[in-house]
Amino acid sequence: MLAAGVMATGLVGMIQVVVSGSEMLDVARKQTLATNIIHTQIDLYRAAIPSDWSTVATGTTTITLSSTTFSAVTSGFTCSRVVSNVSTDGTLKKVAYTVTWTGVTGRSYTRTGVTYVSKYGLNVSQQRT
């Protein structure tokens, strides 16, 4: 009876380890996917900057991910872009992308990537968690 109790306790502990490990793998996979979404959106934005810099608008935009090549794996992800002026003359803009998703435990996660674009061709990017 004592051996069965010890064995049951050990099995419950092993099940908890497997559940925790699978949750961590899910978070890591989705963080990588969110990073890929951000980098893709930054590259698409840089490629689409018009030659007429005055048409580059500031503000918040929701990005529809279903139209991207990631659509099969991005269900449950939302992405938004915020463009703001950095310089007073409007020649440098900060573009921030935020990707949000809900993990298997119901917890909400967010990844943010920032790039700076200039009227004169300067491009820099960074990522924050």
The full set of domain ranges for the chain reads 2-128
Considering the chain, what percentage of its residues have pLDDT values greater than 90? 22
SS3 90: coil
Alpha carbon 88 to its chain's center: 29
Q: CB of 99 within 8 A of CB of 74?
A: no
The pLDDT, as a whole number, for residue 69 is 60
| Helices (H) then strands (E): counts for the chain | 1, 5
Is residue 60 within 8 A of residue 84, CB to CB? The reply is no
Q: Strands (DSSP E) along 1-129, which ranges?
A: 59-63, 78-85, 92-102, 108-118, 123-128
- For 49, the token pair is 């900057």
- Residue 110: the pLDDT is 94
Closest CA to 39 of 93, 91, 79, 71: 79
Confidence of residue 67 (pLDDT cuts 50, 70, 90): low
- Given a contact cutoff of 8 angstroms between Cβ atoms, the answer to whether 80 and 37 are in contact is no
Q: Give the confidence band of 61 by pLDDT, cuts at 50, 70, 90.
A: confident
The 3-state DSSP class for residue 22 equals helix
Is the model's pLDDT at 50 over the cut of 80?
Answer: no
**CA atoms of 98 and 80, how far apart (whole Å):** 5
CA distance linking residue 29 with residue 70, whole number of Å = 14
